[in-house]
Amino acid sequence: MDTIDKQILMILQDQARISMTDLGKEVALSQPAVTERVRRMEEKGIIQSYRASVCPAKVKKQSMAYILFHTKDCESFIRFCKETQDVIELHRISGQYNYLVKVLTETMDSLERFINASGKYGDSTTLIVMSSPIESRKVVPVLDEE
């Protein structure tokens, strides 16, 4: 990864729909050259996907929470989370709890229903999101040493 690849990644994280021609102009490369770099980063798995950023409130998802979860039946809990559309992230963590779940629901009632349904898999502590001063940041690549 060089400085041009880093520039490309930083731009794509802000503007995933930018044309290869415009991206090339931004990094001072021809359209074929920038297209090849993007293709190579996709093949290496550096670029995993392109997606739209959706405003939860605009799609009637008002309640967000992080749930620290401890379970002894990891496989069943993972399956439960995969089958529940309100789970938008699931992370295996170390410490007293073994999972961190990010849940996005329509209302506090629907959040409560999720917590009640998950109770059969273990114990949890719920952290309600009141606001998000920093919602998402770009991943800043580390350049290869030369």
- Average pLDDT value over all residues in the chain: 95
**122 and 78 fall within a common domain:** yes
Domain with 29 in it: what CATH number? Answer: 1.10.10.10
Q: Is residue 31 part of a domain?
A: yes
Q: Please say whether the beta carbons of 113 and 133 come within 8 A.
A: no
Q: How confident is the model at residue 43 (pLDDT cuts 50, 70, 90)?
A: very high
Q: How far apart are CA 5 and CA 75, in angstroms?
A: 38
Across 40-63, b (16+ Cβ under 10 Å) vs e yields ebeeeeebeeeeeeeebeeeebeb
Q: What's the number of CA atoms in the CB half-sphere (13 Å) around residue 106? A: 6
Residue 36: closest CA among 48, 50, 24: 24
**74 and 26 fall within a common domain:** no
Q: Which tens digit of pLDDT belongs to each residue from 45-73? A: 999 999 988 999 999 999 999 999 999 99
How many percent of the chain have pLDDT more than 70? 99
How many percent of the chain have pLDDT more than 90? 92
**121 and 64 fall within a common domain:** yes
Mean pLDDT of 89-114: 97
Q: How many domains does the chain have?
A: 2
